[in-house]
Amino acid sequence: MSVRNLDWAPLDLHSDPVHADPDVVVAAQKRYAMIASTIDDTTAKLGQIVDANSDSLAGQYVAGLKSGASSLKDRLSKAAVRYHDVANEINKYEPDLDRGLSETAGALTDAEAAKNAQTKANGMPDPQKSSDGTTTPAEQQKATDKSKAQSDADGKLAAAKTRLNNALDALNVAGKRFGDAVNCKNYDDGLTDSYKDKLDAVMAKISQIFAIIGMILAALAILIPGVDVLVIAGVVAGAVTLVANIVLYHDGKGSVVDVILGVVGLGLAGAGAAISLIGKGLSAGAKAAAALGGKVPKPIVTGGGNNIEMVPLRPPGGGGGGGGVPNFSRPFGPGNQPRPVPNYSRPFGPNNLPKPVLPKPVAPKPAGPNAAADWKNLSDWFNNPATNWVLGKLGVITPDTGFWASAWEQLKGAGDMWATLFSDPAKFGKDFAAIITGLKGPLDLSAIMKAGGLGNISPLWFAWGGLNGAFGIGAGFIYTGGRLMGWIPAVNPPGQVPAT
């Protein structure tokens, strides 16, 4: 960055062509020289440890200490070479920079003088013709003088620009010499960022960004539960974070706990998808059972009109004879009398049978809420437009409602829960606690199974829900959030340091 506040318009420039601050360059040279000197002192002390005899050092730690000190001394010695070279090359570059600054400033001064000369030359009088149309020698000389003054001023401006370009070219040569002398390709000291180092830096940033996104999605999935759009977004964020953390761990710059938690999180998501299909199968069976149990078979009516076939009355003891009590248990045959047909239009009398009393029809009671019958087979996070074709090929249960329509239904369900926050705080607290602990799914499945008449579900469903709830809160918020904020240190492989 230039520190010269000058107007470079005379040289047709908008800003200072030399972007350098000599004071900053001097400070950098002193800093590199100090680092080089410090490394030299350190390597000298490490050399004393390596070269020490057994009389001054005793104990089982001696061999390990000497080995470690020797390795560190070698690495520092290589690093010291580069720092010494940089400090020396800055010393060589400083005079070139000063010369470049001085020459460019001189070119600007020359350009300003040339501009003034141009203005003066342009202001010189032009030749005037006499009354008879001729130009006298004196007037012709005016034209010659003006043209020469303009030419001289233009030449001075061109010379100033040439001086500027020469100064910049010389400064560029000095800068290239400096850069070539300390080019990272000249050193094998471990101080140069390799392709792997650059990749690790990118992966570290990706891991950080997507870990934060995952935490935000996890919080939204709790506050707006059951919306599978949020769940699938969280799964994608978790997958990206896991890939980045695996690369970092492989290169010795990542946390082993990040990798483990990422693998467990995606594993639980995959297992949750399979278990969700099992739960959907049970719910579908309970719904079918509830539907069958709610139907009332229609009575079968034979005959027509008001006529009801009757059999003659048998006296006690099984004897035959007439009567007025119908016997529907006797078989038809020659030994039986024909069944009389009562005529309800005839008046009552000794020869008529009484009118039968038929039960009055009872209107069915309206069906109440039924967890099984009212269950809706909504889409899961893995039942989305991108994977439904594959899931169909695998024979996965197809939802009754599409992915986006299901998302809307799920969003309304979350809204219904929050609507009870003030109207029924106890119910809201119960529902929200069930979501936090991961027990909502098993509780809903249990209610569906009971309503369908299929009995109780296995207690393992509740254990599974609790495991998911505990992992989501513990890993998603406590560890990840604490690590990102620096409250929890990253757990790295032995002998490796955390990425900064």
215-235 confidence digits (pLDDT tens): 888 888 888 988 889 989 999
For residues 53 and 58, what is the distance between their CA atoms, to the nearest angstrom? 9
Local confidence band at 55 (pLDDT 50, 70, 90 cut-offs): low
- 396-416 per-position pLDDT tens digit: 777 888 899 999 999 999 999
Residues in CB range of 423: below 8 A, 6 or more apart: none
Tokens 């969700």 belong to 276
- Average pLDDT of the segment spanning 167-174: 94
Phi, psi of 351 (to 5 degrees): -95, 5
CA distance 175 to 25: 12
Q: Which of 196-205, 225-234, 332-341 has the lowest mean pLDDT?
A: 332-341
Q: What CATH class has 9-125+142-186?
A: mainly alpha
Task: Convert the pLDDT of each residue in 110-152 to its tens digit.
Answer: 999 999 999 999 999 988 888 888 888 888 898 899 999 999 9
Average pLDDT over residues 355-378: 73
User: In a 3-state reduction of DSSP, which class is residue 374?
Assistant: coil
Q: Which two structure tokens, joined as six digits, stand for 201? A: 């830096």
pLDDT in tens, 70-118: 778 788 888 888 888 899 999 999 999 999 999 999 999 999 999 999 9
Per-residue pLDDT, 56: 55
- Report the half-sphere exposure of 19 (CA within 13 A, side-chain side): 3
Residue 54, pLDDT score: 56
Q: Which of 435, 401, 403, 404 is nearest to 417 (CA)?
A: 435
Q: Look at residues 123, 163, 182, 387 and name the one whose alpha carbon lies nearest to residue 273.
A: 387
Tens digits of per-residue pLDDT, 57-69?
Answer: 555 566 666 677 7
Q: Decide if 496 contacts 252 (C-beta within 8 A).
A: yes
Question: Rounded to whole angstroms, what are the CA distances from 94 to 230, 274, 463?
Answer: 59, 69, 72
Nearest to 474 by CA among 264, 271, 269: 264
- pLDDT value of residue 388: 80
Q: Put residue 353 in one of left, alpha, beta given phi > 0 → left and psi -120 to 50 → alpha.
A: beta
Domain ranges for the chain, please list them.
9-125+142-186, 196-292+373-484
pTM: 0.56
Q: What is the pLDDT of residues 459-490, one digit of tens each?
A: 999 999 998 888 877 776 777 777 777 777 76
| CA nearest to 220, candidates 468, 206, 212 | 212
**The pLDDT of residue 299 is above 60:** no
Distance of CA 129 to the CA centre of its chain: 85
Confidence at 190, pLDDT banded by 50, 70, 90: low
pLDDT band at 192; cut points 50, 70, 90: low
Average pLDDT over every residue of 166-185? 89
Higher pLDDT, 378 or 338: 378
